[in-house]
Amino acid sequence: MNALQLCLAFSSLLFAVGLAGALARSNAIIVLLGLELMLNAANINFIAFWRFSPSSAPATGVIFVLFSIAVAAAEAAVGMALVIAIYRHQKTIRLPDATDLKG
Amino acid sequence: MNPDYVALFNALRPETALVLGALAVLGLDMAIDRRRPVGERQRYALWVAAIAIAAAFVPAWHGPRGQVFGSVLVLDHLAVATRLGVLVLTMLTLGVIRAAPVRHPAEYIAVMLFAATGLMLMAAAQQLLLAFLALELASLSLYVITGIGSARPDAAEAALKYFLFGGMAAAFLLFGFSLIYGVTGSIELPVIAAQISVQGTNPILLVALVMVLVAFGFKVAAAPFHLWAPDVYQGAPAPSAALIASASKLAGFALFTRLLWPGFHAASGSAATFAGGPGWLPAVAVVCAASLLLGNFAALAQVNVRRLLAYSAIAHAGAMLLGVMAAGRSGPGPLFYYASTYGLATVGAFGVVTTVAISSRCEKISDLAGLYRRSPFLAATMTVYILSLAGIPPLAGFFGKLMVFSAALQLGGVAGPAGWLALLAIALSAVALYYYLIVVKQVLVADPPANSGPVAAPAATKLALGAAAALIILLGLFPGVILGLFQ
């Protein structure tokens, strides 16, 4: 395996860990952590492809990552706000208890 | 690339107007006394927002066309039409807000304008970075307006569910984009298209396409990525649900079509037979069939009006995916016509449900009983919306279905998979007629409950509902008005 393949394997593993956490955990904050791991896996991809590719466009990958880190931060902020909002109503942040809406 | 900031600013005048409008809404709310009644603050905010949207409309109509700022933005027929459609749908949503007192009116309306800005950028984006940022601007704003508009626990739960599914979709989208960047070495769609047609498909590209498809399946509420939709439509404040169901869907389909056809057309596979190498068409076809079946059959079992609208939205997403598959051959015109007229009918239906909820509970379909006696105007407009969703001529919904299905049938006749899907969609339209007619029956035939009085709608809401119904009828009689935008 060369370095690019190692990076891609690592990022795929990170994405899978994040997805498993987001799907399987019942605590809303752990699910948020899972989402952040998935976004960071994509960021590692961008950096790896930028570092190891002979591409002409110089800094595309790095710039993309800078923007996506900012987006991830905004997303975490909105997510935490929503977790607090639901805690105010239900006094719990366990997702299996959020079952008012169904049908 | 030689950056031309003047041209960029010129092309982005509509978005600039919306952002300035949002800031003006917030500033005005700070300037006037915040202890004034919520209704009064809401009226000021609505006026400023309406002026901002009207100001955005002019440059969106007359603005420059073609490639902007290198090839970051493209203002072609689809982009211009979608921007105008988003503006019209957002304006109608403002009318719905008048009937649904929201908790923090200025913040709510400002964030709604930010969402509209993101949706308009999605319509014009031709570069993966801008597409991702526009999609996230729109999505994050929509999560917020799902949560802050109402103090009910339902709204918080709906917002959290929408956010968690949406965050996962965003991560899939970003991972897919990173793989596309790795395979093609570029984030500009024209370069990507050229690279793919040279390289052909490879497994990494297919993984990336599937991940992008997952993200867009979420954005447009297509099965099996639809799980958030019924809960959000039910729990969110009505104007948020109306915007999510209409403008967000329209812009999502515009961006999706732009990514798939100009971007990845070389990796599409064959539309007629699905033979000749793997591509994204079979995957879109599977999602399309799943949405049609699940949406229509699950809608049969619903008693809540908003959940009914949600499952109907899933079914319509299936039909629109058929339009996406056909867009490579017959252009995005039929798809845009279908999505925009569907948006008008959905905003209107949410508006009616909200207006009825002013004076009495309106959750179940039976809560609409006898609406023709309580408010003839609301009953008439609701009938127009529901019949348009069902696809009854001469309303716009019928011609949307007709054009999308005939475009799909032209792909390979009735023998190919696209033809089978079109036949399936036509057969399921008959199923859909059943649950739509149940609503119409309650509105027009059933007797009103004993203790119910007349429903009074605010003037702005009446104006918006009347405009939506009139547009549905007129666009049904003159479909050339929209299709002419694509000539």
Distance from CA of B395 to the nearest CA of A (A): 31
Using CA atoms, how far apart are residues B181 and B451, in angstroms rounded to an integer?
63
Does A100 have pLDDT greater than 80?
A: no
The token pair at B65 is 């066309």
Query: Is residue A103 scored above 60 in pLDDT?
Result: no
CB B457 within 8 A of CB B89: no
| Contact call for residues B292 and B255 (beta carbons, < 8 A) | no
User: Looking at this predicted complex, what is its ipTM?
Assistant: 0.96
User: How high is the pLDDT of residue B273?
Assistant: 54
**Per-residue pLDDT tens digits for B98-155:** 988 888 899 999 999 999 999 999 999 999 999 999 999 999 999 999 998 888 888 9
The three-class DSSP label of residue B125 is: strand
β partners of residue B396: none
Residue A93, pLDDT > 80, answer yes
Name residue B364's beta-bridge partners. Answer: B304
CATH of A3-96, picked from 1.10.287.3510, 1.10.1040.50, 3.30.70.20, 3.60.15.10, is 1.10.287.3510
Quote the CA–CA distance of B371 and B352 in Å, as a whole number. Answer: 10
Q: What is the pTM of this model?
A: 0.95
pLDDT higher than 60, residue B362: yes
pLDDT score of B151: 81
**Would the CA dihedral through B78, B80, B83, B88 be positive or negative?**
negative
Interface of B with A in 302-321 (CB under 8 A): 302-304, 307
Asked if A32's CB is within 8 angstroms of B167's CB, the reply is: yes
The pLDDT tens digits for A4-20 are 999 999 999 999 999 99
> Does residue B53 surpass a pLDDT of 80?
yes
- Tokens (6 digits) for B330: 């017959």
Residues in chain A with CB shorter than 8 Å from the CB of B174 are 39, 42-43, 68
Q: Could you read off the pLDDT of B179-218 as tens digits, one per residue?
A: 999 998 889 999 999 988 888 878 888 899 999 999 999 9
Q: Which pLDDT band, with edges at 50, 70 and 90, does B412 fall under?
A: confident
Report which of B133, B285, B294, B155 is spatially closest to residue B221, judged by C-alpha positions: B294
Measured between beta carbons, which residues in chain A are less than 8 angstroms from residue B300? none
Those of residues 37-66 in A touching chain B at CB distance below 8 A are 38-39, 41-43, 45-46, 48-49, 53, 55-57, 60-61, 63-64
The closest of A92, A42, A68, A84 to B133, measured between CA atoms, is A68
Taking CA atoms, B39 is separated from B31, B45, B218, B227, in Å, by 16, 10, 35, 34
Chain B CB contacts of A53 under 8 Å are: 182, 185
